[in-house]
């Protein structure tokens, strides 16, 4: 059981690193095109068309959600790994 939890934790950590890398590449692309912003309280930050919530995520909203998702996956993976270290076989 201990090794299974450790491997699951490693999978979550790997997914967090991949998602964080994708968010970093998106931030770099937005910064180089001059569209990067941190105005999270504006509707145009999150949605392509602020009047239509079904229009999809704007690139700025997407990188922020990817970064938060990476942080969440990292914390879950770290918790699994720490739990596996405390278990006695």
Domain ranges for the chain, please list them. Answer: 2-86
Q: What is the pLDDT of residue 24?
A: 93
Per residue in 27-84, pLDDT (tens digit) is 999 999 988 888 888 877 888 777 777 778 888 888 899 999 999 999 999 999 888 8
Cα–Cα distance between 11 and 4 in angstroms, integer?
A: 11
Q: What is the pLDDT of residue 89?
A: 55
Contact by Cβ (8 Å): 47, 53: yes
Cα–Cα distance between 19 and 63 in angstroms, integer?
A: 10
pLDDT at 17 over 70: yes
Cα–Cα distance between 16 and 37 in angstroms, integer?
A: 23
Secondary structure class of 36 (helix, strand, coil):
coil
**pTM as predicted:** 0.80
Contacts of 39 (CB under 8 A, 6+ apart): 45
């Amino acid at each position: 059981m201990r090794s299974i939890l450790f491997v699951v934790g490693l999978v979550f950590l790997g997914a967090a690193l991949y998602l964080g890398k994708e968010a970093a590449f998106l931030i770099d692309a937005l910064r180089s095109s001059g569209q990067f912003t941190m105005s999270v309280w504006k509707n145009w930050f999150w949605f392509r068309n602020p009047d239509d919530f079904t229009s999809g995520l704007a690139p700025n909203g997407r990188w922020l959600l990817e970064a938060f998702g990476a942080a969440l996956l990292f914390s879950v993976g770290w918790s699994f790994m720490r739990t596996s270290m405390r278990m006695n076989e």
